[in-house]
Amino acid sequence: MSLREYAYKQVEGGDLVASVWYKLGPSEAAKPIALYFHGGNLVLGHKDMLSNGYIQQLLDLGFGAVVSPNYRLAPTISALEGPVQDAKDSYLWTQTQLPEILAKDTNIRLDGDRIVTLGHSAGGTLALLMASLPHKPLAILDIFGLKYFKDDFYSKPNPAFLKIPDLDQALGTWLRSIVPDGNYNGIDPAALFDPSFPPTYFLHGTADTLVGVEFSRRAFEELKSKGVDTKLVVEEGAPHGFDAGAKPGEHKYELVAAGLRFLASHAT
């Protein structure tokens, strides 16, 4: 497994960079791409949070590259203008520019028309939001992602936020700080749910106090009712971030691995 870093966008203050993992070797046909978004409530985190085990599995499943971009973090910029817009721009860059760049640098052939998205927590939100683009992902893996932002759950005080280092928006002010105009539709994947939504796999734990499992259940039922190919896996007693540090062969790792296979089934 090899790694290169590329700037996908220039913003005030410097370049936004994406990590691109790939596996060297001959490729007779162009391969699909997996685009990952990191978690951190849109205020924390970085591009290198995806475990090597998941990256390697995606490559072994037939993806030509796994891409993970940095994005600007709220609340120094709004969620819509920062994380969401940067995620969309990274998707478009992955689709239209990365195949040519990586072919030139490594001779690896990528198919920019075959992209899947995935993410943990707020990264799952961004992965879902890529369905707003004209060329939607072929499939999406949402791992305990945030959605249905108009629900009171997100505006009420949540002591669980106090356990997140450096997150000072701990008592119900987090959402207001990242969406100052109160217009949640631009950052809420639920506003996109319709019969054309991509095949989607939801994974969530029942002991998640940061993002209630009921939102993944609700999203699954809504998409299912619209005829979308969707799957929901609920792990009893699992908290938010339950797969952190998981190793291949462990149960919590295999829960995510099943979602990766779902992505591959729609793209490879």
pLDDT tens-place string over residues 99-141: 999 999 999 999 999 999 999 999 999 999 999 999 999 999 9
Helix pair 85-96, 98-106: axis angle to 10 deg: 50
Q: How far is CA 133 from the centre of its chain?
A: 15
Q: How far apart are CA 116 and CA 198, in angstroms?
A: 9
Stronger pLDDT, 161 or 196, i.e. the higher one? 196
Mean pLDDT of the chain: 92
Mean pLDDT of all residues in 71-75? 94
| Omega of the bond leading into 75 within 30 degrees of 0 (cis) | yes
**How is the chain split into domains, by residue range?**
2-267
Q: What is the CATH number of domain 2-267?
A: 3.40.50.1820
